[in-house]
Amino acid sequence: MFSSFLIKYAEIGVKGKNRYIFEDALVHQIKCALKGCEGSFRVSKTPGRIFLDSGSDFDYDEVIDRLKHVFGIWGICPMVRLENMPPEELYAEVIKYFGETYPDRNKTFKVSARRANKSYPLDSMELNAKVGEALLKAYPELKVDVHEPEINVTVEVREQIFLYSEMIPGPGGLPIGTNGKSMLLLSGGIDSPVAGWMIAKRGVKIDAVYFHAPPYTSERAKQKVVDLAKYVSKYTGPINLHVINFTDIQLYIYEQCPHDELTIIMRRYMMKLAEAIAIENDCQGLITGESIGQVASQTTHSLLVTNEVCTLPVFRPLIGFDKEDIVAISKKIDTYETSVLPFEDCCTIFVAKHPVTKPLLSAIKKHETSLSEKIDELFKTALETREIIEVTPY
Ligand code: ATP
Ligand code: MG
C-alpha cells in the first residue's frame, strides 16, 4: 500500500548554514542506492524533509534494504501522501490507513498531529483530539496511551497531508561524499572491513588497497577481499580496489632483515605503498583495522614505528575496541561470514615465531638500510603493476 517514504535524518539537522550540502548529498546517495532497483523513483526535498516516491510497481523489501545501507538516514517512514482535504474527510482517511496497516487493533496508540500549514482549520492540538476520537469510534478495541503508545499515528498537515506511524531504522552517520576520501588497507580479516565501514559512516568516500603475495597467498584469498569490498560497497558505493603484488618486497625483506622484525618492516612498507596510492587518488587519510594490543604489530610501540612512515593521518577507528565488539559490527554489516573463511592473507605467511613487541625505531631504521639496493625499484614496480578492480555493490 505504501508508495511514499519520509526519510528522516539525524545529525544533518544540526549543520546550520551548510545543511543543504548534507541534504543534497543524502538525496544523491539515495538515488545512487536505488540504481538497478525495479521501478521508477523520485527523491525530493522540502525544508527539513526528504521524500522518496515511487511512480510504479516496486519491490518494497528491496527498496527498504537499499535504504538501510545509506549513511545519513536515521529512519525510513513508509507514508501515505494525501491531497489537502477538510477534517471530516481526513478522519475517514486516517481510519482507512489504520485499518489497512494494523489488522490487529488490540493496541495502544496516540495521535501526533503537526499543522505546518497554518491555514488549515484545526490546529495541532485539535487535530490530535479529533483524529484520536475518530479512531476510537471506528475501532473500539484501541486504547489511548500518550506516553508509550505501541502505535504513534503521525499526521503532518503541510501543502499536502502525510500519514505515517512506523519508522524503520537506518544506519545513521553522514552521507558519503560529505567528508572527503580515504584509502582503506583492506585485508581478508575481520577488522579492516569494519574499520572502513566506520570511517565511511562519517561521510568519507573509500577506496582500498590489498597486498597480495602470490603464490604464498591464493587467488581465493584475493577473491575473499573482493567479496568483502563488495559488502562494504553496499554502504559506500563503488570502491576502487588496488591489488598490489607484494611478494617480491616481502621476500626481499625476508632475505635482508632480522626475522623477528619482519612483520613490522613489512607493515611499514605496506603503509608507504598505501600512502603513495592514497595521495595519487586525492585521499586525506589512510584507514586500518588496528586495535591496541591485538597482536605484536599492534602494541603501542609497534604502532609508533609503523606510523612513522606516514605523512597522512591514519584513521584507526577500532583502536580501543575489544575483538567481540568488532565481531558484533562485522556480523551486523554482513562481512563476518566471509572474513572467517580460512584463506591465508599475506601477513600470516612470513610471521616469525617471536616477533618483536617493542620494536625500537632506530634499530628498525638501521636494519632497513640493508634494503637500500633494490627496494626503490621494487616499490616502483609494485605500484606500476598493481591491478585496479572496480568493486560495485550489486
Ligand atoms: P584484519 O582482521 O583487518 O586482517 P588483523 O587483526 O589480522 O586485521 P594485521 O594482520 O596485523 O591485523 O593487520 C592490521 C591492519 O593492517 C589490518 O586491519 C589492515 O588494515 C592492514 N592489513 C594487514 N594485512 C593487509 C593486507 N594483506 N592488505 C591490506 N591491508 C592489510
Ligand atoms: Mg589480517
Task: Kindly report which listed range (34-48, 98-112, 311-325, 377-391) carries the lowest average pLDDT score.
Answer: 34-48
Least confident of 117-121, 195-199, 345-349, 386-390: 345-349
| Domain edges within the chain | 4-169, 181-391
Q: Looking at the predicted structure, is the pLDDT value of residue 346 above 80?
A: no
Same fold, 4-169 and 181-391: no
Q: What is the pLDDT of residues 141-186, one digit of tens each?
A: 999 999 999 999 999 999 999 999 999 999 999 999 999 999 999 9
Predicted pLDDT of residue 1: 75
Residue 242 forms beta bridges with which residues? 209, 388
> Topology of 181-391 in CATH?
Rossmann fold (3.40.50)
191: exposed, middle or buried (C-beta count within 10 Å: 0-12, 13-18, 19+)? buried
Return the residue whose CA atom lies nearest to atom 2 of ligand 1: 189
Q: Is the CB of 317 under 6 A from ligand 1?
A: no
* C-alpha span between 231 and 83 (Å, rounded): 40
CATH for 4-169 is 3.30.2130.30
| pLDDT tens sequence across 236-247 | 999 999 999 999
Note the pTM of the prediction, 2 decimals. 0.94
Pocket flag, ligand 1, residue 196 (CB < 6 Å): no
The confidence score (pLDDT) of residue 347 equals: 56
DSSP 8-state code for residue 353: S
Q: Please give, one letter per residue, the 3-state secondary structure of 207-253.
A: EEEEEECCCCCCHHHHHHHHHHHHHHHHHHCCEEEEEEECHHHHHHH
Of all protein residues, whose CA lies closest to atom 12 belonging to ligand 1?
A: 290
Decide: 187 in ligand 1 pocket, CB within 6 A.
yes
Pocket flag, ligand 1, residue 276 (CB < 6 Å): no
